[in-house]
Chain A
Amino acid sequence: MAPKNKNPNGENVVPEVQQKKTQALILKSSDGEEFSISKSAAGLSVAIKNMMEDDCAGGVIPLPLVDGGTLARVITYLNKHAEDGASDEDKRKFDEEFLSGMEVDVLCDVALAGNYLDIRGLFHDVCQRIVNGMKNKSVEWVRKTFRIESDFTAEEEEQIKKEYAWAWEGVDSDAD
């Protein structure tokens, strides 16, 4: 293997990866909180990467659709996944713990942020986590949790329920 940290003229250089990592970037949440993040971690978000490349940001990237609490979580995730020494197994374990502590409200915020910032792995994992929690839940639970107001009349709703009666079997009670 070629000697590390030397350019073709034999001069010592800082490896590109390390160089990138040391450079920081500021992400600004919808409620004005500012977070510092390495460029390599931020680059795991396709949306932020594009903004960095366009260089329209000048070091501070405003994210008007992500609140501070959610952004802090997303940054924790990005930092772990950009960590040099972290093996795939480490990351998997981290993801598991990271997501298992979240209430469904928080999961939704992270899903929306994952979609908006285009962080594929995070987005898919969070969606799967939401699915696991909701698949056996009632329609009322879904409406309440996602704050969706039904625009069906009672008759229309009854009609759907009649047509797909099999889909209403084995639904969890709303208690939990």
Chain B
Amino acid sequence: MDAEAKLDDMNVVMEILIRLPPKSVFRFISVSKTWEKTISTDPFFLRSYSRRQNSANRRRLLAILENKTKQPLDPELPPAQCIRFPDNPQVEIEQNDQFVFNSSNGLFLTGFLPSTFHVVNPVTKKCVALPPPPIACKTSVAIMCEDNFSELKANYIVLRAQQSLQNNIMQIDTYSSRTGEWTRSVLVATGSFELSLKTPTVANGVFHWNTTDLRTMVVYDPNDSVKNHVQLIQKPKCRSQLGEVTRSTTDDILWLFMIDTEHWKLFMLPKGGEIAG
């Protein structure tokens, strides 16, 4: 067993790598090409690792709850921590109009309007400052991170939307982490609408805005084959017209949850179908 390499069995190496915290795993990419290949491309490793990290994060949430009740259930759990961002000290500087816009698949979008945006990864403690968009304007902005475990790197887009003067058209500026650039495009809807400037809900990679009268949902899927198109979905009438949407990950059914006078109501919309109560 005293062969050349001490750990000559990749099964054992993988079992060890799966248990390491993300920081160590990223560092050990540079141990050798074999380790690099395992860590950044082996689908079995990437799947097992993300699954294990997810359950570790659940443990961390538990710890936050425990701090509140002051009754530790499990003394092994680390206390909830305030994370510091060594790369970007300005994140810690108090900014009165700094927002956390939204989150998607593990990344947060924060910053302040009109043109300062940071993408924060709480696991790697990495904070990326986006270049300012070509035109400054105070409008709706949101991040969408791809749900992709076959790549080590998180790929995301940040999308800023703005109504055009014509009421069936909206302009979007899209920042892509792949290109590192903002691009502008125009989306056309089949009818007229007035876009709300509130942050859209991002589910399954699809953006959902409300209109200002809350009667319609404006839906944009960046991966849709029909480019430059937004879908308008009429919302059912309820006492509280706001509601919230989500999508099932496997069949992409759109779910809308609303509160009515006596009940709450759950509506579903299968892909390409009409909304149903």
Contacts and interface: CB of A to CB of B under 8 A. Distances in A.
Interface of A: 30, 65-67, 70, 105, 108-109, 111-113, 115-116, 123-124, 127-128, 130-131, 134-136, 138-139, 142-143, 145-152, 157, 160-161, 164-171
A148 B5 contact: yes
Given A66-B1, A115-B11, A146-B7, A139 B86 contact: no
Given A139-B27, A167-B27, A151 B33 contact: yes
Given A108-B7, A112-B7, A166-B124, A143 B31 contact: yes
A66 B7 CA distance: 13
Interface in B1-43: 1-2, 4-9, 11-12, 15-16, 19-33, 35-36
A108 B20 contact: no
Nearest to A123: B15
Contact of A131 (B8, B19, B124): B19
A42 B196 CA distance: 69
Contacts of B124: 166-167
Q: Is the interface of A mostly helix, strand, loop or mixed?
A: helix
Give the size range of B's interface with the partner: 20 to 34
8 contacts: A109-B1, A127-B15, A134-B20, A135-B21, A143-B31, A147-B5, A148-B31, A166-B125
Q: Which 5 A-B pairs have the closest CB atoms?
A: A167-B26, A167-B27, A146-B6, A131-B19, A164-B26
A150 B1 contact: no
Given A109-B1, A149-B32, A157-B30, 13 more contacts: A30-B1, A105-B6, A111-B12, A115-B11, A127-B15, A127-B16, A131-B19, A135-B24, A139-B30, A146-B7, A152-B36, A167-B24, A167-B124
A113 B31 CA distance: 23
A161 B26 CA distance: 9
A127 B2 CA distance: 18
A123 B9 CA distance: 13
Contacts of A171: 27
Task: Among B12, B22, B24, B27, find the residue whose CB has the most chain A CB atoms closer than 10 A.
Answer: B27
Contacts of A139: 27-28, 30-31
B87 interface: yes
B83 to A, nearest CB: 12
A170 to B, nearest CB: 8
A134 B6 CA distance: 14
Interface in B80-132: 86-87, 124-126
Given A127-B12, A131-B20, A134-B24, A164 B29 contact: yes
B6 A108 contact: yes
A164 B27 contact: yes
Contacts of B28: 139, 142
A86 to B, nearest CB: 23
B17 to A, nearest CB: 9
A124 B6 CA distance: 18
Nearest to A158: B30
A166 B87 CA distance: 8
Contacts of A124: 15
Nearest to B22: A167
* Highest count of chain B CB atoms <10 Å: which of A157, A160, A161, A167: A167
Contacts of A112: 1, 7-9, 12
